[in-house]
A = this chain, B = another copy of it.
C-alpha cells in the first residue's frame, strides 16, 4: 500500500469513528454524502479517500458499514496490536485514558506513569499507574511503542529523551513545550490554545456581534 497523505490518514480515523457510531445506531449502510455530512466535508472527498485505500462498494445502496470499518482497520491499524502509555496521569492524562481505553482493538493503552506517590500502583481511569522510575523496565516488559505526554511542561524534554532511548517510537505531545525527537520517531503535537485562538479569530472576523 502506497504511503497515504497525512490528511487522508486523519480522515480515515474520523470515518471509522463515525462508522462505529453508525453501528450503534443500527445503521448498516451509509452513503458517501451522509458520511461526509456528519464530518462537514464533501462526498467527493470521502469517495476519493476510499479510492486511495482501494475500497470499492459495488453496491449502490451505500457503503457496508462493518466492511468499511474493517477495511479502514486493515490500512491504518498495525497487524499486531501496538501498546500505548500515558505519562502523567493528572487531569488531562485521566481524560485521555478514560476516553481512549478499550476504544480500539489494535491500540492498547496498557499503562500510565506518574511520580506522585498518591497515584502510583493504583488503577486510574481504567489503567494501572506505574512509578515513573520503572519506565525503562515497563516499556520493555509491556512492549510499549507510543507515549502520550501529559506531564507538566518542565519535565517534557527530559522524559522525551529518556523514553525515546528506552524504545518509544511515537509521541503524542500535549505539553506546551515543542519537542525534538531523533528521526525514526514520529512526533505529533497538539495545543488547545491554538484551537481556541483560531475559534476566537474567526468569530471576530465574521464580525458576529
- Looking at chain A, what size class is its interface with the partner chain? 35 or more
Q: Which residues of B contact A30 (CB under 8 A)?
A: none
Compute how far the CA of A122 lies from the CA of B208 in the bound complex, rounded to whole angstroms.
32
Are B186 and A172 touching (Cβ within 8 A)?
Answer: no
Which stretch of A7-15, A43-51, A60-68, A126-134 is in the interface?
A7-15
Are B194 and A13 touching (Cβ within 8 A)?
Answer: yes
Contact of A206 among B186, B200, B206 (CB under 8 A): B186
Contact of A90 among B95, B148, B176 (CB under 8 A): B95
Are B100 and A192 touching (Cβ within 8 A)?
Answer: yes
Q: Which residues of B contact A92 (CB under 8 A)?
A: 91-92, 95, 99
Q: A78-B204, A94-B91, A169-B206 are in contact. Are A198 and B99 (CB under 8 A)?
A: no
- A interface residues with partner B (beta carbon < 8 Å): 3-4, 6, 9-10, 13-14, 17-18, 21, 38-40, 76-78, 82, 84, 90-92, 94-96, 98-100, 103-104, 106-107, 125, 145-146, 148, 169-172, 176-178, 180, 184-188, 190-206, 208
Given contacts A172-B192, A186-B202, 10 further A-B contacts (CB under 8 A): A4-B201, A9-B198, A9-B201, A90-B95, A91-B95, A91-B98, A91-B125, A104-B193, A170-B203, A186-B203
